[in-house]
Structure 1
Amino acid sequence: MIPGAVLSGAGMALRALRRFWWAVPIIGLALALQVTRHTLAEAREDHQAYVDGMKAAQAAELAKRLETERARTVINQETDLAHRQAMDAQRARYEQRLRELTGRPDAALPRIPDPARSFDANACGDGLLSIPTETAVALMMAADDNTRQLLDLQTWVRRQIDVR
């Protein structure tokens, strides 16, 4: 037989459970919310780490592109300087030869303006730095197609000239 004090304690617990049944799902939801918040915080940290990594990679790629562009600029400037020096030396030789041939000490060659004597950095570069790779490949393929069409057109024109 079960003592009455124990039965009344169990009955009180049952009554309390019936009266406060809604506390069990709320406690479960509160625990689920805490787990979700923790998971969400981890996901945010992972996403932020990914974003930081991508920014670092983009910054490194930009720095590499800028360094490449700087190197190209230096090469273009050196090439331009070497070209100017070669042209000046050649001009001096030709002017000396002209003076020898004409016998006039003031004989000089006509001058060419500086822009016509120098290289254009944009014309010397590939110009594809700011274009995405897929677009650059598409442009190169289109240029190849245009070149082939122009060569075919030249061949056709030559054949037409031969017909006359």
Structure 2
Amino acid sequence: MLIDSRLRTVYGGRGGSDPEQEQLVEQLLTSLGPEGIDDVLDGTCTLIYLYMKWLREAHEAHEKDVVEYVLPTLVTSLTMLPGSVPPEAVPTMAGLAIAAATGLSPTLWRKQYGDWTEAELTPLEATAFLLAEHINRVTDDQNFATRMITEALTQVESGAE
């Protein structure tokens, strides 16, 4: 929901973030507690994994390497956000995306480096957002990435019943 909300803000032409929305997000995260925050982090890593899986398959269909074509754009975009993404977080986000691109769980890949730091939370969100936006641009559909995740969740729910 957070990534979809960010995409709508960008596509709607509203610059910056909505202070009211930011307050709601902060209240939600505060209400979750430590275990809930871990679930949000795992969920964001899952989004990155699913986005990179889709991008890998789309690039392979055209005999192209997803790392070669997606990572430079992702890294360039992250470095253009110095207020939100500190330079030292960029290699971590690139590594996370590469892990996902090669079929590794970003959550498991990250565990080898310890817990997430507070300084990495915004870059993690930015990475998920930039990948979703990249997918939307590739498909020329502003809702494709959100719809893809919604459909995946629907399939998981129907399989659990």
TM-score when normalising by structure 2 = 0.21
Q: What is the TM-score with the length of structure 1 in the denominator? A: 0.21
